[in-house]
Amino acid sequence: IDISGAPSGADGIAIDAQDDSTITFDIDNHTTFRGNFLSRAVRIEATGQDADTATLVGHVRNNRFNDWQSGIFVNQTDSGSVVINIDNNELTDSTSAGESIGILAGNGDSPAGKLDATVTNNRIANSVTSGDDIFIQSNQNAVVCSDIRGNNTLASSTTTSINIEQNNAAIFRLESS
């Protein structure tokens, strides 16, 4: 997938579950995703408003990402639910003040949404000077459980390898092995 000539804000692949929908996906073995520093390679979102429970379950694995603002972006809002496995990807120059892998959860609706993220065995090498290699944030009433291990983050001196934030009444569980 090459969108290097596309306008800023374009996504290589966008998956968006809304209301009570359920989406299962597997983005596997794409040799090169090429972007333009102002776009996302993969955008995955679950938005279940009010009593709705949009659900996303899937994998992003064995892919190569070059020149993106955000290589892989996962967003859970409202009462949506996300279960994602991000494994064995290579991300190079994937951020211009964004995240190579960015995972965000929560905006405060009740019931709180849930996000389970496994981020393993990824290779990240950024030559840019801002942003995060892996960023996971839990906001408002969201419940986040993350298993982060085996990643090779070769961060520059002003880039954070792994940044984890918990805000407001959010619950964050970090697993390790």
Residues 49 and 79 sit within 8 Å (Cβ to Cβ): yes
Compute the residue count for the chain.
Answer: 177
What predicted TM-score, i.e. pTM, was given to this entire model?
A: 0.88
95: tokens are 């951020």
Residue range 50-101, pLDDT digits in tens: 667 888 999 999 998 887 777 899 988 888 889 999 999 998 865 566 688 9
The dihedral through the CA atoms of 127, 123, 64, 130 has a sign that is negative
| Amino acid in position 114 | K
**pLDDT (tens digit, 9 = 90+) per residue, 108-139?**
555 678 899 999 999 988 766 567 888 898 88
